[in-house]
C-alpha cells in the first residue's frame, strides 16, 4: 500500500434512497472513508447504504445547512475531503484523476464542472460542456479553519486561495425528477429564504415552459447507466476522458506560478473586494472573486452566495457585465450578499446597463439594431453571455434599498452604463 494522502468523502443526506447508492459507487474506489450525516431521513436511505463498509454514519437534524456541514467536517479524518451531494454521480475517470490531484499538497482545492439535468434524463441546463455557471469546489485539503457559513446554500471558507481545475465532471440528478417534486422543493427553499410567495400560482407546466434546457449529449456515468436505461433513456455519446499528462503539466504550472504572483494591496485603505472582473481590467489592491478559478482570482465563488465571513470588506465593487447575466429574482439576493460581507458603513458600488437610456437612444436612432440587440440581450455565442434581465437607474436603486443599503446615489453615466453606490448602515452597536 502506498503512502498516498487519505481521502474522506463527505455527505449529508435526507431521503436520498434513489441516487445515493450510485453516488457512493462512483467515488468508492478513490476514498478511504465515507462520512454520511443523516438529517432526518424517513425513507430507505440508511438501508440502501448499509452495504458500503467504508461508511461512518451519523445523525444530526437541523435546517441550518452550514451547521450541518460543519458537523460533517468535524467527523472527517482524511487529509483531503471530497464533498458530494447524494444526487451527484461522477464519471469513472475520477478513479484515475483524483489520485493525481491529491499528490499536489501545494494546491488548496479543486473545482469540477457538472451537468445539471432538468426535467428528465436527456435535458440539461448547461449551454455547453464548459458552462462556467455549473462549476464548484468539490475537493479540498482538510485543514484547521475551514468551515461553512450561510444557513441556506452554504458556502465554504478558509480553504486557501490556490484553487485549480480538476477537469472532472459529474451529473446532477436532483432536478431530473418529476416536475411536481421540483416545484415543491423550490417552494420549500423560497420559504426558507424568506420569500414564501415567490412560486405562488406557478404550476409544473409553468416550470417546463420557462426552464432553460438543452439536450444532454453524453452517456450517463457507468455506475448508473443501467438504472437510467431502465427508466427509458440510453442515448448519448461517450464523454471525452481527461489527459493525465496534460493534467500534470497544468498542475505543475499552478504550483510553479503561485509563489511568483505579487499581491498588491493599498496601504491603510482596508480590504476591498472586486467581483467578476475580467483579467484585462482588474483593480490592483483588491481581492478578486469569480465563479471561475482564473489566475487573478483569490476567491472562487458565486456572487449570490459569497464564501466570505460577514463584515469583512471596507468596499465591494461589482463592475459592469455581471448583474445583467443573473435572473431578475437573484439580483436582490446578490446585492444582499454584497451588503453582508461589507463592513458597517462600507461602500458598495454596482455598475449596470441602463435599459431605459438604451431604449431612448434606440428610439432616437442613436443605436443600430445590432448594437441594441447586443446591449439588451447580450452575446449568446457562449450561451452564458446572454442577458437574463435589464435594469435601469430606478430599479437598481430600489433593489439596493431592499438589500439593506442606504445613501444610494448615481455616481456617473457613460455609454448607457450607470454606476450606483450605497453604504451598509452603521448601527448604534457598531458605533459603540
What is the rounded average pLDDT of the residues 311-322?
89
What is the rounded average pLDDT of the residues 58-70?
93
Q: How many CB atoms lie within 10 A of CB 278?
A: 13
The pLDDT assigned to 261 comes to 39
Which residues face 114 on adjacent strands?
170
The pLDDT assigned to 429 comes to 47
204-208, 317-321, 427-431: which has the minimum mean pLDDT? 427-431
Instruction: Name the grid cell of 94.
Output: 475520477
The pLDDT assigned to 415 comes to 67
The chain-wide mean pLDDT, for the chain, equals 85
Task: Give the integer Cα–Cα distance in Å for 374 and 353.
Answer: 11
Q: Would you place residue 1 in the very low, low, confident or very high pLDDT band (cuts 50, 70, 90)?
A: very low
Fold classified for 265-431: Rossmann fold (3.40.50)
The pLDDT assigned to 350 comes to 93
For residue 335, pLDDT beyond 50: yes
The pLDDT assigned to 390 comes to 86
Instruction: Give the whole-number percent of the chain exceeding pLDDT 70.
Output: 85
For residue 432, pLDDT beyond 80: no
Instruction: Give the whole-number percent of the chain exceeding pLDDT 90.
Output: 49
Record the pTM. Answer: 0.74
For residue 280, pLDDT beyond 80: no
For residue 260, pLDDT beyond 70: no
pLDDT in tens, 81-108: 999 999 999 999 999 999 999 999 999 9
The residue extents of the domains of the chain are 7-177+215-246, 265-431
Query: Higher confidence at residue 326 or residue 196?
Result: 326
pLDDT in tens, 356-396: 888 888 888 878 887 888 888 876 555 556 788 888 888 99
Choose which CATH entry (3.90.550.10, 3.40.50.620, 3.90.45.10, 3.90.110.10) describes domain 7-177+215-246.
3.90.550.10
The pLDDT assigned to 208 comes to 64
The pLDDT assigned to 53 comes to 94
Q: Would you place residue 399 in the very low, low, confident or very high pLDDT band (cuts 50, 70, 90)?
A: very high
208: buried, middle or exposed (CB in 10 Å: 19+, 13-18, 0-12)?
Answer: middle
Amino acid at each position: 500500500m502506498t503512502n498516498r494522502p487519505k481521502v474522506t468523502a463527505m455527505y449529508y443526506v435526507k431521503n436520498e434512497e434513489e441516487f445515493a447508492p450510485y453516488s457512493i459507487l462512483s467515488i468508492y474506489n478513490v476514498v478511504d472513508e465515507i462520512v454520511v450525516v443523516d438529517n432526518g431521513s424517513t425513507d430507505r436511505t440508511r438501508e440502501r447504504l448499509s452495504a458500503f463498509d467504508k461508511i461512518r454514519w451519523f445523525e444530526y437534524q437541523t435546517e441550518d445547512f452550514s451547521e450541518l456541514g460543519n458537523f460533517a467536517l468535524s467527523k472527517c479524518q482524511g487529509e483531503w475531503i471530497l464533498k458530494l451531494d447524494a444526487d451527484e454521480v461522477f464519471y469513472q475517470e475520477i478513479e484515475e484523476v483524483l489520485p493525481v490531484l491529491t499528490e499536489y499538497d501545494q494546491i488548496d482545492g479543486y473545482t469540477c464542472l457538472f451537468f445539471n439535468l432538468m426535467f428528465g434524463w436527456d435535458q440539461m441546463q448547461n449551454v455547453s460542456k464548459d458552462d462556467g455557471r455549473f462549476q464548484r469546489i468539490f475537493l479540498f485539503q482538510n485543514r484547521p479553519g475551514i468551515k461553512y457559513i450561510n444557513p441556506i446554500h452554504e458556502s465554504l471558507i478558509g480553504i486557501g486561495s490556490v484553487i485549480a481545475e480538476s477537469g472532472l465532471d459529474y451529473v446532477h440528478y436532483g432536478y431530473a425528477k418529476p416536475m411536481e417534486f421540483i416545484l415543491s422543493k423550490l417552494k420549500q427553499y423560497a420559504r426558507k429564504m424568506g420569500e414564501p410567495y415567490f412560486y405562488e400560482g406557478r404550476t409544473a407546466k409553468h416550470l417546463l415552459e420557462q426552464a432553460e434546457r438543452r439536450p444532454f449529449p453524453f452517456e450517463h456515468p457507468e455506475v448508473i447507466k443501467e438504472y437510467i436505461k431502465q427508466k427509458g433513456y440510453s442515448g448519448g455519446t461517450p464523454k471525452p476522458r481527461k489527459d493525465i499528462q496534460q493534467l500534470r503539466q497544468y498542475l505543475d504550472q499552478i504550483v510553479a506560478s503561485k509563489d511568483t504572483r505579487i499581491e498588491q494591496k493599498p496601504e491603510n485603505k482596508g480590504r476591498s473586494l472586486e467581483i467578476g472582473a475580467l483579467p484585462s481590467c482588474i483593480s490592483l489592491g483588491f481581492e478578486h472573486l469569480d465563479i471561475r478559478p482564473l489566475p487573478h482570482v483569490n476567491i472562487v465563488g458565486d456572487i449570490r452566495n459569497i464564501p466570505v465571513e460577514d463584515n469583512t470588506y471596507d468596499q465591494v465593487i461589482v463592475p459592469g457585465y455581471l448583474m445583467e447575466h443573473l435572473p431578475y429574482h437573484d439580483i436582490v439576493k446578490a446585492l444582499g450578499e454584497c451588503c453582508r460581507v461589507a463592513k458597517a458603513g462600507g461602500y458598495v458600488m454596482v455598475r449596470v446597463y441602463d435599459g431605459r437610456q438604451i431604449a431612448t437612444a434606440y428610439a432616437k436612432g442613436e443605436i443600430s439594431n445590432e448594437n441594441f440587440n447586443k446591449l439588451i440581450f447580450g452575446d449568446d455565442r457562449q450561451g452564458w453571455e446572454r442577458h437574463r434581465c435589464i435594469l435601469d437607474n430606478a430599479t437598481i436603486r430600489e433593489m439596493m434599498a431592499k438589500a439593506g443599503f442606504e445613501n444610494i446615489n448615481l455616481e456617473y453615466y457613460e455609454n448607457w452604463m450607470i454606476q450606483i453606490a450605497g453604504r451598509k448602515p452603521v448601527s448604534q452597536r457598531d458605533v459603540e
